[in-house]
């Protein structure tokens, strides 16, 4: 956990936000927030804290999933998750397992015979660009049948 994330958690906890709310806003697990708060002495009874405050609800700030910078959400506009396109691309490249892909196809490469999966409508014949080059310019072909 970075120092910036620690300071954000401390600030939000001092404003009496719950572990769940902080975790959701920062994109980390509840266990991470809870353990940090307990180690830093930020754990406590929130019911007593809310009784002493006014009845006006606080709005939870949101933070960029990549760099942790605070985001300003505007009304009637889609909820932002990233501060910039660069942060968005960086985060999605670092988390490819979270991408929801549709319509997978599994085929064998015409050059090396290795099975590979591709997504989308356009039909793929080669697993990599190198296999395409070998097949195209060197005439390398797999001995087994293709699917």
Whether 143 is in a domain gets the answer: no
DSSP symbols for 60-107: PPEE-TTT-PEEPP-TTSPPP--SSHHHHHHHHHH-GGG----SEEEE
Closest alpha carbon to 44 in 21, 22, 13: 13
Q: Is residue 142 within 8 Å of 108, Cβ to Cβ?
A: yes
Helical packing angle, 19-26 and 30-39, nearest 10°: 120
**Residues 8, 14, 19, 24, CA torsion sign:** negative
Spatial distance between the Cα atoms of 147 and 120, rounded to a whole number of angstroms? 17
55 and 109 fall within a common domain: no
Lookup: tokens for 146: 């293709």
Whether 40 is in a domain gets the answer: yes
Lookup: tokens for 65: 């999933």
8 and 65 fall within a common domain: yes
90 and 117 fall within a common domain: no
41 and 68 fall within a common domain: yes
Whether 33 is in a domain gets the answer: yes
- Full-model pTM: 0.45
Is the pLDDT assigned to residue 19 strictly greater than 50?
yes
13 and 44 fall within a common domain: yes
Whether 32 is in a domain gets the answer: yes
Spatial distance between the Cα atoms of 46 and 58, rounded to a whole number of angstroms? 14
Whether 122 is in a domain gets the answer: yes
- Tell me the pLDDT band of 130, cut-offs 50, 70 and 90: very high
Residue 146: the pLDDT is 40
20 and 71 fall within a common domain: yes
Whether 30 is in a domain gets the answer: yes
18 and 83 fall within a common domain: yes
53 and 94 fall within a common domain: yes
85 and 24 fall within a common domain: yes
108 and 92 fall within a common domain: no
Lookup: tokens for 75: 């009304």
- Tell me the pLDDT band of 50, cut-offs 50, 70 and 90: low
Domain span at residue 134 reads 104-138
64 and 121 fall within a common domain: no
Closest alpha carbon to 82 in 60, 94, 64, 63: 64
Average pLDDT, the chain: 82
Tally of domains within the chain? 2
46 and 87 fall within a common domain: yes
């Amino acid at each position: 956990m970075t120092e910036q994330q620690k300071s954000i958690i401390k600030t939000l906890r001092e404003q009496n936000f719950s572990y769940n709310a902080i975790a959701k806003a920062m994109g980390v697990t509840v266990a991470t927030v809870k353990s940090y708060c307990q180690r830093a002495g930020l754990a406590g009874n929130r019911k007593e804290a809310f009784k002493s405050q006014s009845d006006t609800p606080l709005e939870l700030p949101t933070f960029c999933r990549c760099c942790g910078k605070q985001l300003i959400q505007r009304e009637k506009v889609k909820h932002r998750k990233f501060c910039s396109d660069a942060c968005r691309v960086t985060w999605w490249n670092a988390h490819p397992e979270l991408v929801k892909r549709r319509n997978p196809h599994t085929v064998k490469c015409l050059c090396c015979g290795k099975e590979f999966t591709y997504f989308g409508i356009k039909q793929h014949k080669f697993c990599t660009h190198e296999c395409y080059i070998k097949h195209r310019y060197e005439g390398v072909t797999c001995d087994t049948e293709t699917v």
